[in-house]
Amino acid sequence: MTHLTLEDILALKENSEIEFKKASGENGKGSLPKSFWETYSAFANTNGGDIFLGIAENSDKSLSVTGVLNPEKIRKEIFDLANSRQKISANLLENHSIQDIYSSTGVYLKL
């Protein structure tokens, strides 16, 4: 897995293989976005891609760094649901599939 810096990530743009998700939750304490599994499924059924949690795409297509408040909680939520047959038919993720990216402004997750 390629290790990216925050500068590398902020130079990217959303496309058919890159998606940014805020992941702050309704209460601001961090949660997996409801649209995560739709993106996961779309990537799993095409050429794959990267989902960045803790970075939001603004209406003008610029990116805002929001960070992930509780990365371990979100990591657990991802694997709990990925291993649930009620959510998806096959788990394509392994522990090394999720990369923590640390910067002075917080932690971000790359899947």
Q: Is residue 55 part of a domain?
A: yes
Provide the residue range defining the domain that includes 35.
6-110
Q: Is residue 1 part of a domain?
A: no
Q: Is residue 67 part of a domain?
A: yes
Q: Is residue 42 part of a domain?
A: yes
pLDDT digits (tens, 9 = 90+) for 44-102: 889 888 899 889 899 999 998 888 888 888 888 888 988 888 888 888 888 888 887 77
DSSP code string of the chain: -PPPPHHHHHT---BTTEEEE----TTSS----TTHHHHHHHHHTTT--EEEETEEE-TTS-EEE---S-HHHHHHHHHHHHT-TTT-SS----GGGSEEEEETTEEEEE-
| CATH code of the domain covering residue 76 | 3.30.950.30
- Count up the domains in the chain and report the number: 1
